[in-house]
Structures are given as C-alpha cells and as structure tokens.
Amino acid sequence: MEKSICWQVLFQRWPDSIPKQGIAVTSLNESITFSNFQISDYAVLFERDRPDTMGARSVIVPWEEIAAVKLTSPIESAQFQDMGFRRVGKVS
C-alpha cells in the first residue's frame, strides 16, 4: 500500500475518542504541532492553537509528505482499533 494512502486512511478513521492533536513529522523532517485537522482527497490541513515563528496558524501538507505522526495525549491501546490497529500475539 502506498504511504500516502496509509496516512489518508488513518486520518479518515480518526475516532472521536482520540483528541485531534499531536505532532506531524514531514519528509523534510519538519515537526508540525497541531490541535485539530481537516482532510481532503489530496492533503491534510493542520491547525495550530499558536502561530509558528512566521505567524502561520494552519499548514496544508500533501499526504505523501507525512513521514510520522506523534500523539501527545495519553490513549488507551484499545482506542486505536477504530483506526484499524489490532493486537497480535499473546495479550497479557
């Protein structure tokens, strides 16, 4: 599966139980802290609660430029199932 499709599916399936905040890392190694987001067929719009050093509060990133997403809120592992994740092996 193409990397951009993986990110698009993840953001489309983002459950209400997980806060829409975190840090997106781009392929240029830029970290974008976001407090909300919106999606389109081709990109994601990250919204910030504070402007960056250049004064921008929103950043539009094409799906293929996302390298990683870091979540900053404590989240129960079961909540990730709505995003398509599942446990493997023996659960203790």
Q: Give the mean model confidence (pLDDT) for residues 9-38.
A: 94
Q: How confident is the model at residue 79 (pLDDT cuts 50, 70, 90)?
A: confident
Q: How confident is the model at residue 81 (pLDDT cuts 50, 70, 90)?
A: confident
Q: Answer whether residue 11 shows pLDDT above 80.
A: yes
Q: What is the pTM of this model?
A: 0.86
> Which class is 3-83 in CATH?
mainly beta
What is the sign, positive or negative, of the torsion defined by CA atoms of 42, 3, 64, 50?
positive
Name which residue leads in pLDDT, 84 or 73.
73
Q: Answer whether residue 41 shows pLDDT above 90.
A: yes
For residues 58 and 41, what is the distance between their CA atoms, to the nearest angstrom?
A: 18
Please state, rounded to an integer, the average pLDDT across all residues of the chain.
91
Q: Which DSSP state fits 12?
A: H
What share of the chain in percent tops pLDDT 90? 65
Q: Answer whether residue 92 shows pLDDT above 90.
A: no
